[in-house]
Structure 1
Amino acid sequence: MPIWLWLGGAIILEVVGTTALQQSAQFTRVIPTLIMALCYGLAFYALSVVVQSMPMGIVYAIWSGAGIALISLIGALFLRQHLDLAGLIGIGLITSGVVVINLFSGAGPH
């Protein structure tokens, strides 16, 4: 499987796991807690595959940056957790950094 699919899968699994974490109500709800644990475990497995082909710093920057942006979007769309202007600018800068790494860094998968 191409490395980008592994990384994309890790990002999606982390976002689903983090969403389930919020829904777990501090681990008092069984189903969201199980979803969270499964998704985090699978996300870290996928990351372990990706770091065999890419530098760990680049992988982590892409994984965490994309995760932050997606979680913020989910929070705004479904959980009514809106960011202020400074938060939006910060996420924009993170997203810009991920784009720069992917387009211009020789360390990313191309």
Structure 2
Amino acid sequence: MKLTTRLLRAGVEASTDSVGDSYDNALAENLWMIIKTECIRGRVFATRAEANLALFEYIDGFYNGRRIQQRLGWLSPVEFEEKHYADQATAEQTNLKPRQPTLTS
């Protein structure tokens, strides 16, 4: 109740749905499932700092930049960005070619 009151006073609308509806948390739950499966499961960390570092390296070093994504045409964000800039450079080079004079009768 205190959170709801604070959000209302700040003019913020909470991202919630009906009770028992998991749609609000589906993306976060999916991300944690992937992290557990690909990064944590089967590993033992000696310290909390070691676990934090492993999570940081996975999320920032792999998940955000190198993990392929269907909506990017099965490219990683890094590959997608490189392709975008290469395509842009090719288009600019095409636009810089001198135009052939047109023959008029």
TM-score by length of 2: 0.29
TM-score by length of 1: 0.28
